[in-house]
Structure 1
Amino acid sequence: MYKQAAQAYQKASQTAVSPRELEANLLMKAAARLQLIKDEWEESSFAEKDEALTYNRRLWTVLVTSATDKDNPLPQEIKNNLGSLGIFVFKQTMAVLTDPTPEKLATLISINRMIAEGLRSQPE
């Protein structure tokens, strides 16, 4: 599935959308999926919950790997911050999986939305 996420990311990045806009769109898509699970917690199956969390985790894996790459021109401080945020996202994902409650999704949803908004508000 990681390969599929990476391929989708590469394919989408080849369109006319800027890389920042693509990242923002993918983060918003992940946030929307998590929000749906949160809103329909009781009706959602474990598989649906796991799928939404897996999508988000894989997206963050791609984002963090790309952002922290030695060839990425981002300043080191931003790379470090994104790496730390990624670790937090992974830990929060594990917290949801080990003790599932819909309230725990709020943090992941909020992070995705805030980062997406930041990507859209910054000049390229």
Structure 2
Amino acid sequence: MPLQAYKAATARAETPRDLEYRLFGQVTRALVQASETPGNDLAARIDALDWNRRLWSTLAGACSDPSNALAAPMRAQIISLSLFVNRHSSAVMRGEESFQDLIDINRMIMQGLAGAQTAA
């Protein structure tokens, strides 16, 4: 019972920015773990890359909505990053690239989310 109360309180206290930060943290952690798995563990690699792609695809979809409150240049940059993430993920699966660029991008987004939170 106390655990349910804690979860309910957390859900009420979490802002959308907090939720985005937490989600980026979870996805980035999965990418880091996948990058450290042996190359023959395709399931872990595919799962992490797919989760990251879906996150970025969702962000791009939200940014393509004209009613999105973000400034148009910021929305365009997020859509552009989403396209890069998609292409780079395919290259990682083919063994042509590493996970590091994807991890770095996500960490930069997390820094921005954390910085905006402390500025607010």
Q: By the TM > 0.5 criterion, same fold? A: yes
Which consecutive unaligned segments of at least 5 residues does structure 2 have? 1-10
Which residue, 59, 63, 83 being the options, matches 2:55?
Answer: 59
Q: Which of the two has higher C-alpha Rg?
A: 2
Distance in 2 between residues matched to 1:93 and 1:37, nearest whole Å: 12
* TM superposition score normalised by structure 2: 0.81
**RMSD in angstroms over aligned alpha carbons?**
1.7
Which residue, 69, 74, 78 being the options, matches 1:78?
Answer: 74
Distance in 1 between residues matched to 2:36 and 2:65, nearest whole Å: 36
Which residue, 23, 27, 36 being the options, matches 2:24?
Answer: 27
- Specify the alignment match of 2:88 in structure 1: 92
| Higher RCO (CA 8 Å, separation ≥ 6 residues) | 1
* TM superposition score normalised by structure 1: 0.78
- Work out the number of aligned pairs and report it: 108
State, as a whole percentage, how many aligned pairs show the same letter: 31
Distance in 2 between residues matched to 1:28 and 1:111, nearest whole Å: 12
Q: Which runs of 4+ in 1 moved over 4 A?
A: none
Partner deviation per Cα, 1:89-112 (whole Å, 9 max, x = no partner): 1111011112266xx100101111
